[in-house]
Amino acid sequence: MSSFAERSLAEYYRGKRIVITGASSGIGKDLALLFSEWGAHLALTARRRELLDEVKAQADKGGAEVLVTAADVRDSAAMQTMADDVLARWGHVDLVIGNAGIGGLNPATCFDLEIHRRTLEINCLGLANTLVPYIPSMLARREGHLVGVSSLAAFRGRPRAASYSSAKAQQGIFLESLRMDLRPHGIAVSAIHPGFVVTPMTEHTDFNMPFMVDVRKSSLLIARALKRRVPRYLYPWQMRWLVRVEGLLPCRVYDWLLPRVSGQREDLKPRTL
């Protein structure tokens, strides 16, 4: 990205009031650090308070206000309380990024319903618990931007990933419906679909992860897409094209091909990532 493009992003985000979930690690943490460098005010949340405090210590150097709240996105009351507190302090929020999520494997041959439940609760209900509390104040202002971080795994079922793929698909469809309902009220809704990004979630060798991008590149791409208020953003471009081609494959071809190219071992057991 050219320095001119970065300067124009910095200008756009300066002074914006931004909420980010899953800000203790990976994509959410790096987005928080990038936005803080650009002078955005931040309200950050995740469960691990000590990690959030470390992110705050770094983000504070940007000079804007950084609020942190330790909360579980599954706890709708806690997410509502956080939104009430943030809105009481700031009056309004410009951008809410529902990024908190867990990954995981759940092979159908030894399917673990507890992992399934946890994956859906955190990724799907957690996203609703994150975004919904800000809708009334955005409706009143006729302004605002709601974002969910889904995945490229949302578009077709990935092998041994029934829980993760279906949760990410739900997020995409949820965001699409919100988008239609809220657009006439001046509120933008964006679904972000990352490919593989270097974060703690991808620190494993359970399957192949082609065209992996580093987390800062991911943050810059997301920031640029959100500035354009795109309805849906798939990245990196190589994976965007692969997903488009995959979408055209008949089921029999897809079912034969995917397990072979995924590089997964046969002995994988259910686990979250």
- Residues in contact with ligand NAP by the rule CB under 6 A: 21-28, 46-48, 51, 72-74, 99-103, 122, 149, 151, 194, 196-197, 199-202
Is 164 one of the catalytic residues?
A: yes
The CA–CA distances, whole Å, from 37 to 58, 68, 93 equal 10, 17, 18
- Residue 23 vs 188, nearer CB to ligand NAP: 23
- Residue 139 vs 212, nearer CB to ligand NAP: 212
What's the min distance (Å) between Cβ of 177 and ligand NAP? Answer: 19
* Token couple for 248: 């055209």
* Token couple for 121: 């609760």
What's the min distance (Å) between Cβ of 210 and ligand NAP? Answer: 11
What's the min distance (Å) between Cβ of 11 and ligand NAP? Answer: 26
Query: Which one is catalytic: 134, 164, 233, 235?
Result: 164
- Residue 125 vs 268, nearer CB to ligand NAP: 125
What's the min distance (Å) between Cβ of 99 and ligand NAP? Answer: 5
What's the min distance (Å) between Cβ of 201 and ligand NAP? Answer: 4
What is the set of active-site residues?
164
